[in-house]
Amino acid sequence: MVYLDYAATTPVLPEAAQAALAAMTEQWHNPSGRYAAAAQSAKRLEADRSAIAKALGCQPGELFFTSCGTESDNWAIRMGAHLNRRRGRHLITTAIEHAAVLETCKDLEKEGWEVTYLPPTSEGTVSPEDLRAALRPDTVLVSMMLVNNELGSVLPVRELCQIVKSYNRTILFHTDAVQGFLKVPFTARALGVDLLSLSGHKVHAPKGIGALYVRSGVKLPPLLTGGGQERGLRSGTEPTAQIAAFAEAVRVCAATSAADQAHMSALKEYALSNLAKKLPSVEEIVHGEAPHILALTLPGYKAEVLVRVLGDRGVCVSAGSACHRGKPSHVYAALKLSKPRRDGAFRVSLDRSTTREDLDALVEELVRAKEQLFPTMS
């Protein structure tokens, strides 16, 4: 099998699996306990937190564990809005965010909040001028992703955050960095954001673990209440096995992240060059700066059919975000692609382990599929 859908999920590294196993079989005690074995589990938990914080470029005390990136997004947006609710009820986001952000904003609209959805540029990013024009005295929170999960476009989050803070420093700025962490160079501190979401399964950790960066000084209310774990901000007994695996995966990937990014970037250009020679009818939708995502389209063909045919031949790609579950992509719609280009859009996503041979197989099977499939009348 040739797997080229790493933006959807990544395989768990053996080192991460071993770390989880040790946490489940050796240091399995509740870190909130008041005895020596529990204290050892708590010590390991904080060491793991520090490892992820180091890779993210923040202090360990600014990092809080969650169940996933979706929870992190929900917590940041819902509670960030709640924190500033007395100052205003206006939020700003983009039309190309992950569903975890967009659906949360839609829920808040039902509760009386007003949300401005900024359109993307033709390059799949956001215009700083559009952001400036959208800011209002009653704006309390801005949420803009770092790397788009379908296009691979990198939003200028640092510049956008500076614009917001120059307008009013009390406006909270959140970024969903799920697709950017260890894929593009950044630190939480350099971005200047107040809140930042991560997900473990995008960086070779298991599903079911994520994190939220909360800048020191931001008094974010808890989304979940209960026993007061995570310094009172995220109750629930910590999933120490998932956390251990997350931290170990981050340690391994962070050690080679610069080389891995260069490797994926070179492979991306190789794939595009190969396609241009052998299947020029495949077009790049936008040339995103993220090294691991290629947004492609075969105009006049149905991506769902193309993806299924490739999958039957052992090449795994996607017709967009896995979260769409067969629904039309709001990202492609926001770009205002023509119907033939939108219908034929699919995503190829790479990893540190991807090879040229994998991409040769992709191109070969794409050529075969185009020869055997009939174009639609769209």
In a domain, residue 186? The reply is: yes
Same domain, 276 and 152: no
Q: Is 323 a catalytic residue?
A: yes
Residue bearing tokens 């960095």: 177
CA distances from 289 to 1, 174, 261, 266, 319 (A): 27, 21, 11, 12, 20
CATH number at residue 101: 3.40.640.10
Cβ burial 114-138 (10 Å sphere, 16+ → b, else e):
ebbbbebeeebbbeeebbeeebeee
164 membership: H or E segment, kind and range: helix 157-167
* Per-residue pLDDT tens digits for 305-330: 999 999 999 999 998 655 555 577 89
Same domain, 268 and 234: no
* Per-residue pLDDT tens digits for 14-60: 999 999 999 999 989 989 888 998 889 989 999 999 999 999 999 99
CA distance 245 to 143: 28
β-strand partners of 210: 66, 199
User: What are the structure tokens assigned to 142, written together?
Assistant: 């801005």
Same domain, 74 and 141: yes
In a domain, residue 276? The reply is: yes
Same domain, 270 and 214: no
Residues spanned by the domain of 268? 2-9+256-372
Same domain, 103 and 27: yes
353 CB neighbour count, 10 Å cutoff: 13
Same domain, 75 and 204: yes
Query: Which is catalytic among the residues 68, 105, 161, 323?
Result: 323
Same domain, 189 and 243: yes
> How is residue 60 annotated by DSSP?
G
pLDDT at 377 over 50: no
In a domain, residue 377? The reply is: no
Same domain, 178 and 207: yes
Report pLDDT for 371. Answer: 86
CATH number at residue 293: 3.90.1150.10
In a domain, residue 378? The reply is: no
Mark which of 227, 255, 283 sits at the end of a domain.
Answer: 255
Same domain, 315 and 219: no
* Per-residue pLDDT tens digits for 119-141: 999 999 999 999 999 999 999 99
β-strand partners of 93: 117
Number of domains, the chain: 2
3-state percent helix, strand, coil for the chain, nearest multiple of 5:
45, 15, 40
Same domain, 118 and 184: yes
Cβ burial 260-292 (10 Å sphere, 16+ → b, else e):
bbebbeebbeebbebbeeebeebebbbebbbbb
